[in-house]
Chains A and B, each alone.
Chain A
Amino acid sequence: MVKTERQLDLIFAALADPTRRAILARLAQGEATVMELAEPFAMSLPAVSKHLKVLERSGLISRGRDAQWRPCRLEPAPLEEARSWIDMHRTIWEASFSRLDDLLLELQSGNGIQADRAANIESDGKEPNDEPNR
Chain B
Amino acid sequence: MNQTDNRLTSEIVSDTEITMHRTFAAPRELVFRAFSEPELVAKWWGQRSAETIVETYDFRPGGAWRMIQRNPDGQEYAFRGSFLEIEPPSRIVQTFEFEPMPGHISTDAMTLTEVDGGTRVTIDSTFMSKEDLDGMLQSGMEAGANESYDRLEELLATLV
Chain A residues with CB under 8 Å of chain B are: 5, 8-9, 12-13, 15-16, 18, 21-22, 24-25, 28, 76, 79-80, 82-83, 85-86, 88-105, 107-108, 113, 117-122
Contact = CB atoms under 8 A, between A and B. Distances in A.
Contacts of A104: 24-26, 30-31, 34
Given A85-B104, A107-B34, 5 more contacts: A5-B102, A9-B103, A15-B15, A100-B34, A104-B30
A118 B27 contact: yes
B6 interface: yes
B55 interface: no
Nearest to B50: A95
Contact of B24 (A8, A93, A101): A101
B48 A95 contact: yes
Interface of B: 6, 8, 10, 15-16, 18, 20, 22, 24-31, 33-34, 39-40, 43-48, 79, 96, 98, 101-104, 106, 108, 121, 123, 125, 127-129, 131-132, 144, 147, 149, 151-152, 154-156, 158-159
A124 to B, nearest CB: 14
Contacts of A88: 98
B29 A15 contact: no
Nearest to B24: A104
A8 B127 CA distance: 11
Nearest to A6: B103
Contacts of B30: 104, 107-108, 118-121
